């Protein structure tokens, strides 16, 4: 079977995007693992499929991680989907409505070429994350084999926890990220962010993504980090987030408001995946 695809990235967080409206696609963990393999496949952090939209949405998108697990939300991926849809049909409106497993999102193409995505209100209720705790809090103490660690937790349509560190360059992302991703208090696993607060308007961030490992960037992770730090009154309403792959601007006015994420979406190449 041959499948047409587009390779894209948002500041280094890379995706294979498949239009499932125009060709048969076996949306499965096996397909995601094969395509995402960087030696024997195309190579990507996530596989994204585009499906027909309903009720005014231009399309619906679904996400599978490298390991075949389902990702409910992906901020960088959402911007890439919007850019892909505009390239596929330049007559589509701006802003654009796109549905995903985390709900309906709004994407706007800015004058400078970046895309601003409204990705919903951060959810701090433990049951919504999901996270095992009695009530929402700005800080939680997680027990590990060699001690405990202070984290924040939030859902951006997918689960996130955040560890504040003195320096992201020295943060034990690979080891601690892997431990926290599968901590028993996160029943659906969790994306793990490591944030260095530079000022009230700037942070540095590295993210160990659920089902992938450390990536060059994570849009929902950047959003989650700002939401948690804003909940703690550590940052202002608009924050620049520097990740290993590039820069995102995150704005959140606070409870009752949707969070806005602005950044680039880049096309890499189009191709055909041939497999048995």
Shared fold status for 2-118+264-274 and 126-257: yes
Residues ≥6 apart with Cβ < 8 Å to 226: 203, 235, 239, 241, 250, 252, 259
Span 126-257 CATH architecture: Roll (3.10)
209 known ligand binder: yes
Mean pLDDT of the chain: 95
DSSP, residue by residue, 131-184: ---SS--S-EEEEETTEEEEEEEEESSSEEEEEE-S-GGG--HHHHHHHHHT-T
Domain 2-118+264-274 bears CATH identifier 3.10.310.10? yes
210 known ligand binder: yes
Identify any residues that bridge with 163 across adjacent strands, giving them in sequence order: 194
Which of these, 170, 173, 176, 124, lies nearest to 148 by C-alpha position? 176
Query: Could you tell me what percent of the chain has a pLDDT over 90?
Result: 91
Residue 208's alpha-carbon distances to 12, 217, 260, 269, in angstroms, are 14, 9, 22, 26
Which of these, 256, 255, 195, 247, lies nearest to 226 by C-alpha position? 195
pLDDT for res 95:
97
104 known ligand binder: no
Q: What is the pLDDT along the chain (276 residues), one digit of tens a residue?
A: 799 999 999 999 999 999 999 998 888 889 899 999 999 999 999 999 999 999 999 999 999 999 999 988 899 999 999 999 999 999 999 999 999 998 999 999 999 999 999 999 999 999 999 999 999 999 999 999 889 999 999 999 999 999 999 999 999 999 999 999 999 999 999 999 999 999 999 999 999 999 899 999 999 999 999 999 999 999 999 999 999 999 999 999 999 999 999 999 999 999 999 876
94 known ligand binder: no
89 known ligand binder: no
199 known ligand binder: no
pLDDT for res 276:
67
pTM, two decimals, is 0.93
User: What are the residue boundaries of the structural domains of the chain, listed by start?
Assistant: 2-118+264-274, 126-257
Residues with catalytic function: 74, 218
219 known ligand binder: yes
């Amino acid at each position: 079977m041959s499948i047409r695809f587009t390779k894209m990235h948002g500041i280094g967080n890379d995706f294979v995007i498949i239009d499932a409206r125009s060709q048969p696609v076996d949306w499965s963990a096996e397909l995601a693992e094969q395509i995402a393999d960087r030696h024997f496949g195309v190579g990507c952090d996530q596989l994204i499929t585009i499906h027909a939209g309903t009720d005014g949405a231009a399309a619906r998108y679904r996400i599978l991680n490298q390991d075949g697990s389902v990702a409910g939300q992906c901020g960088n991926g959402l911007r890439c989907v919007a850019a892909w849809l505009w390239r596929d049909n330049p007559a589509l409106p701006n802003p654009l409505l796109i549905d995903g497993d985390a709900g309906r999102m709004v994407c706007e193409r800015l004058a400078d070429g970046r895309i601003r995505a409204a990705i919903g209100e951060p959810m701090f209720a433990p049951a919504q994350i999901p996270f095992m705790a009695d009530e929402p809090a700005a800080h939680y103490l997680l027990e590990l084999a060699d001690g405990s660690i202070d984290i924040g937790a939030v859902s951006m349509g997918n689960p996130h926890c955040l560890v504040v560190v003195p320096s992201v360059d020295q943060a034990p992302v690979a080891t601690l990220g892997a431990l926290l991703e599968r901590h028993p208090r996160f029943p659906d696993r969790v994306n793990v962010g490591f944030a260095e607060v530079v000022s009230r308007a700037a942070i540095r961030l590295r993210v160990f993504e659920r089902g992938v490992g450390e990536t060059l960037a994570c849009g929902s992770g950047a959003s989650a980090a700002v939401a948690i730090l804003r909940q703690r009154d550590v940052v202002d309403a608009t924050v620049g987030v520097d990740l290993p792959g590039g820069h995102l601007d995150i704005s959140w006015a606070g409870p009752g408001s949707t969070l806005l994420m602005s950044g680039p979406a880049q096309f890499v190449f189009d191709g055909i995946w041939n497999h048995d």
